[in-house]
């Protein structure tokens, strides 16, 4: 039997990824929040692994294996904690709904999604991550390759207020997460040699922020802007051919992606070579 079934008391399951019949017999609780107008069976589920019998755990291992062979990660997180299921559930529910300064609305924070949690690990301050973990001693999540990573507390300090208190800069980063993950997914295919790690994630986020400020108003345009810089040259957009396309997109409100449709990899690599040659000549002066 895998060690994780013995060392983790709880798991999180996303019912939008795993079909209902695959988890309906597991001891679970939907993370229902006061203001989420969503049916409970569609909300994240807290699975109480510590209540499973040995037979049920073995059956679960087989079930997880079947999903893995189909490319589906059964659990989106594994949690270590001595706290009761009620305490864990209430803590997670508290953080699912977030408030922004000056905004009366409540915003859903998908921290249970591994594609979100991996970025929160570098976007949150250590104190904020400790507040997010709360009674959870260790949080493990899977990456796209099926490897598991762990986040634990930075300190043993107890906080009177559990709220994250995200600032505006952090919210802007969170708002970019969908685009950030879209670029990273593209790079897995177009640039598999790029290590999918914190340095790359931060760089892509900076590029997306830069594209916002140009401004490029369409998400697909900002994503292409970031991908071009990562794949071909950090200053690729200083090349006259791309500068002209960016100017058209800004001034005419046209699609930057459409204006780049005639460019293939060889053309962009040629632009990168020109930029490198130009920089070399400048250094030689």
pLDDT digits (tens, 9 = 90+) for 83-116: 999 999 999 999 999 999 888 899 999 999 999 9
Last residue of a domain, one of 165, 198, 232: 165
Within a domain: 170 = no
130 and 17 in a common domain:
yes
Q: Answer with the residue of higher pLDDT: 203 or 68.
A: 203
Q: Mean pLDDT across the stretch 156-168?
A: 86
Q: Quote the number of domains for the chain.
A: 2
Q: Mean pLDDT across the stretch 21-46?
A: 94
Q: Does the structure show a pLDDT above 60 at 281?
A: no
9 and 144 in a common domain:
yes
Give the model's confidence band at 283: pLDDT under 50 very low, under 70 low, under 90 confident, else very high.
Answer: low
Q: Mean pLDDT across the stretch 46-63?
A: 93
Last residue of a domain, one of 114, 146, 165: 165
Residue-wise over 83-119: b if at least 16 C-beta within 10 A, else e?
bebeebbebbbbbbebeeeeeeeeeebbbbbbbbbbb
Enclosing domain of residue 213: 176-284
- CB neighbours of 85 closer than 8 A, spacing ≥ 6? 10, 29, 46, 48
Of 113, 118, 194, nearest in space to 149 by CA: 118
Within a domain: 171 = no
Q: Does the structure show a pLDDT above 70 at 282?
A: no
263 and 204 in a common domain:
yes
Q: Mean pLDDT across the stretch 20-47?
A: 95
**Cβ(77)–Cβ(125) below 8 Å:** no
The whole-number pLDDT of residue 77 equals 97
Q: Answer with the residue of higher pLDDT: 95 or 37.
A: 95
What are the percentages of helix, strand and coil residues in the chain, rounded to 5? 55, 10, 35
The whole-number pLDDT of residue 195 equals 93
155 and 26 in a common domain:
yes
The whole-number pLDDT of residue 257 equals 97
Total number of residues shown for the chain: 285
Residues 147, 177, 240: CA angle, nearest 5 degrees? 110
Q: Does the structure show a pLDDT above 60 at 284?
A: no
The whole-number pLDDT of residue 217 equals 92
The whole-number pLDDT of residue 231 equals 98
- CB neighbours of 137 closer than 8 A, spacing ≥ 6? 80, 81, 82, 152, 153
Q: pLDDT tens digits, residue range 189-227?
A: 999 999 999 999 999 999 999 999 999 999 999 999 999
Q: Mean pLDDT across the stretch 220-242?
A: 98
Q: Does the structure show a pLDDT above 80 at 2?
A: no
Give the model's confidence band at 6: pLDDT under 50 very low, under 70 low, under 90 confident, else very high.
Answer: confident
128 and 252 in a common domain:
no
**Cβ(128)–Cβ(164) below 8 Å:** yes
116 and 185 in a common domain:
no
94 and 21 in a common domain:
yes
Pairing status of strand 106-108 against strand 97-99: antiparallel
241 and 161 in a common domain:
no
pLDDT > 70 in the chain, percent: 97
Torsion of CA 123, 126, 130, 136, to 10 degrees: 70
Q: Does the structure show a pLDDT above 70 at 162?
A: yes
């Amino acid at each position: 039997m895998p060690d994780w079934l013995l060392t983790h008391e709880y798991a999180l399951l996303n019912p939008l990824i795993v079909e209902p019949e695959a988890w309906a017999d597991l001891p679970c609780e939907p993370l229902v929040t006061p203001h989420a107008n969503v049916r409970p069976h569609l909300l994240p589920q807290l699975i109480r692994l510590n209540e499973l019998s040995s037979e049920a755990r073995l059956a679960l291992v087989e079930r997880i294996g079947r999903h893995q062979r189909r490319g589906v990660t059964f659990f989106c997180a594994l949690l270590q904690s001595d706290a009761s299921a009620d305490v864990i559930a209430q803590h997670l529910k508290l953080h699912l709904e977030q408030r922004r300064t000056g905004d009366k609305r409540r915003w859903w924070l998908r921290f249970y999604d591994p594609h979100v949690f991996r970025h929160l690990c570098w976007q949150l301050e250590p104190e904020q991550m400790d507040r997010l973990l709360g009674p959870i001693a260790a949080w493990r999540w899977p990456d796209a390759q099926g490897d598991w990573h762990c986040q634990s507390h930075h300190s043993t300090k107890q906080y009177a207020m559990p709220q994250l208190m995200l600032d505006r800069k952090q919210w802007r980063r969170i708002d970019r997460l969908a685009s950030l993950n879209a670029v990273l997914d593209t790079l897995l295919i177009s640039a598999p040699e790029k290590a999918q790690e914190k340095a790359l994630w931060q760089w892509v986020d900076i590029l997306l922020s830069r594209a916002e400020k140009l401004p490029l108003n369409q998400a697909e345009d900002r994503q292409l802007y970031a991908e071009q810089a990562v794949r071909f040259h950090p200053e690729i957009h200083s090349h006259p051919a791309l500068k002209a396309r960016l100017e058209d997109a800004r001034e005419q409100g046209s699609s930057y992606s459409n204006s780049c449709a005639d460019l293939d990899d060889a053309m962009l690599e040629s632009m990168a070579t020109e930029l490198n040659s130009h920089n070399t000549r400048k250094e030689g002066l």
